[in-house]
Structure 1
Amino acid sequence: MDKLEVKHNPRSIINITDLTVEEIDHLIKTANDIIENPEKYQDICAHKKLATLFFEPSTRTRLSFTAAMMELGGNVIGFSEASSSSAAKGESVADTIHIVSLYADIIAMRHPKEGAPLVASEHSEVPVINAGDGGHFHPTQTLTDLLTISRKKGGLNNFTIGFCGDLKFGRTVHSLIEALMRYKGVKFILIAPPELRLPKYMKEKMNAAGAEWKEYEKLEDAMPDLDVLYMTRVQKERFFNEEDYVRLRDSYILTLDKLKPAKKDMIIMHPLPRVNEISVEVDSDPRACYFYQAHCGKYIREALILYLLGLK
């Protein structure tokens, strides 16, 4: 058989639920080993190529994928915006991915349209990792969050996490809740204005999973109970009038003063980028973990690349 015509069905990761709990635990274990023993992995992806196909802007995700592959000894090809690809000429996602998958061993793809990475995976010769598709899924951000919590809290069982801000449209919130619902003893505190509360379908999923959850409108009311605080941006474009936005935005700005009733070992997370929802004065607080969280993203992406390539 002509080698150029050989086809297979590669494993792709589009949503966090594509991974079992056992697989997530394996990825976290691998990421921790990479952190502790980087020299073991520095050549493991030699002669392998990652294609980063980013049809919309990205800082942390794109650069962490690039850094991850380079630290594994591999190479990186791709583009950082749609205008520098044939998409600008009208080429379909299916055709783009089919061609790129002939040149790379694995693909990380971000696209503004929900479902685009799924379509890509159906036309790819190699594994596709969804690096964010509109307001839909962002599984590697969720893996980043899970690694951060696991390292800082000693595991993924028996803690209380508070999500604050835009819980209605935040894809990172939905994905992390779906992942944590599968672990034992995780309690959820949902802090949001009525306009941006967690959607009904997500609450139904939590109820079906037997998850314990409460809703609050004020961050201060929930603060003493939290082991993890996951901040998100309140989005101005979701409000009908400026007054409501300003009132609610100001109530969700995390300051040192608002942290006074919090536990000394609580950790503060944020998927970034932030706007004004975490005051810069909080950056020096030992509980602030959002930059640490971004650093974890590189290692968990290394682990996922190795896993999908069958190297770990």
Structure 2
Amino acid sequence: MQTALHSRCQRTCKAASSRPGSAKVPVCRGASLTRSATATPAGALTNNGASMDWHLQKLKHVVDSGDFNRAAVDVVFKEALKMEKVRPGSPESRVLEGYIMSTLFYEPSTRTRLSFESAMSRLGGTVLSTESAGEYSSAAKGETLEDTVRTVEGYADCIVIRHSQEGSAKRAAAVASVPILNAGDGPGQHPTQALLDLYTIQREIGRLENIKIGMVGDLANGRTVRSLCMCLSMYPGVEVFFVAPDVVRMRDDVKDYLTKRGVKWTEVSDLREVAGLVDVLYQTRIQRERFTDMDSYNAARGKYIIDKELMKILQPHAVVMHPLPRVDEITTDVDSDPRAAYFRQARNGLYVRMALLKLCLADKMTADDLNK
């Protein structure tokens, strides 16, 4: 787990405590989550009484789902619940006033990029962004990722990065003096998506322990399911069903990871069988951009589709999730079903990312303070 605190946070923590946004209690905004807004009381979002201080968790960067323990997840969840209630113009909406976030996206994005930028703006911060960084930044001239990060950290207090190469976020974190938040590194990791997925499951189902989840679609290339598996392994009684075409089955490293942590997993070919068993059906699209062989892509797509007929099998309390975008793997007539949670899931991404930015940038206690 990362242990160092970034120097800029140390320099600014005293100043941050006197900012208008230093109040701890948010003003009620009125959450718009229809199915989940009243499903889970605030207290149910935590499981172990974790301290609310982020730096007790000794996290500097958000690059790997494996860096999070249950205490750290609880801290994020408590803060995200507050973020749901932040109202424009309130002191809480200015907590990141004076801070700058840079977004470096080398791959396309809608939800992740806009939710990060919206999160920063809703907390009073400023965004520096480059469109298609691989094409329109100095990377097109041959600049290394490390040099780009070293340059951009001089302009910003944190960097949100999405890259096509697995492990790129860790490379960035290795040279950065400001927090790096991994917004997806190829088929590798997507830790903020995993956190918002956990948050959504907790809000929708009411628990993270003793759940059954079916993961469907492109599991070999799906960084969202990989990261989510790592996070779910922290909770007892979780059972995972992998449903995927042969060419995109879940990779062995994730299955080994789950096995070592005592998580039961099964590979299943019948989606209808899984739909009747699970609390969460987590669908993913077949990622065409990850294929070099279009014959393999065509063989994989369209095999597992969630439609109204399949929804009849789903248990009444269960939910369907999807990291989006979807192509044809969930039919649009499912959208009106109250168990279709994927747009609520996307909205939760805003609150979780607001929480992470606030915790990384505006937590006013440093590790030195805590150890006195």
Q: TM-score with structure 1 length normalisation?
A: 0.91
SS in 1 for 2:162: strand
Partner Cα separation in structure 1 for residue 249 and residue 161 of structure 2: 29
- Describe how 1:112-191 pairs up with structure 2 within 5 A: 112-191=164-243
Q: CA deviation at 1:129?
A: 0.6
SS in 2 for 1:107: strand
Identity of aligned residues (%): 41
Aligned to 1:49: 100
2:115 maps to a residue whose letter is: S
Q: CA deviation at 1:232?
A: 0.9
Instruction: List per-residue Cα deviations over 1:212-246 (Å, max 9, x = no partner).
Output: 2222101011111111000011346759675x866
Match among 44, 50, 59 for residue 110 of structure 2: 59
SS in 2 for 1:214: strand
Partner Cα separation in structure 2 for residue 266 and residue 76 of structure 1: 37
Q: 1:121 to 1:255 in 2, by over 3 A?
A: same
Q: Are residue 253 (structure 1) and residue 302 (structure 2) matched? A: no
Runs of 4+ in 1 over 6 A off after TM superposition: 6-10
Aligned to 1:218: 270
- Describe how 1:1-312 pairs up with structure 2 within 5 A: 11-38=60-87, 39=90, 41-82=92-133, 83-235=135-287, 238=291, 242=295, 249-311=301-363
Aligned pair count reads: 306
Instruction: List per-residue Cα deviations over 1:88-134 (Å, max 9, x = no partner).
Output: 22222111111111111111011112222222212222111111111
Q: CA deviation at 1:199?
A: 1.8
Aligned to 1:3: none
In structure 1, the gaps of 5 or more residues are 1-5
2:117 maps to a residue whose letter is: T
Q: 1:90 to 1:108 in 2, by over 3 A?
A: same
Aligned to 2:44: none
Q: CA deviation at 1:260?
A: 0.9
Q: 1:251 to 1:96 in 2, by over 3 A?
A: closer
1:21 maps to a residue whose letter is: R
In structure 2, the gaps of 5 or more residues are 1-6, 11-58, 365-372
The CA RMSD over aligned residues, in Å, is 2.2
Partner Cα separation in structure 2 for residue 66 and residue 307 of structure 1: 16
Q: CA deviation at 1:71?
A: 0.3
Partner Cα separation in structure 2 for residue 89 and residue 231 of structure 1: 38
Instruction: List per-residue Cα deviations over 1:282-301 (Å, max 9, x = no partner).
Output: 11111111111111111101
1:66 maps to a residue whose letter is: E
SS in 2 for 1:229: strand
Q: CA deviation at 1:261?
A: 1.4
SS in 1 for 2:63: coil
Q: 1:186 to 1:272 in 2, by over 3 A?
A: same
SS in 1 for 2:182: strand
1:98 maps to a residue whose letter is: R
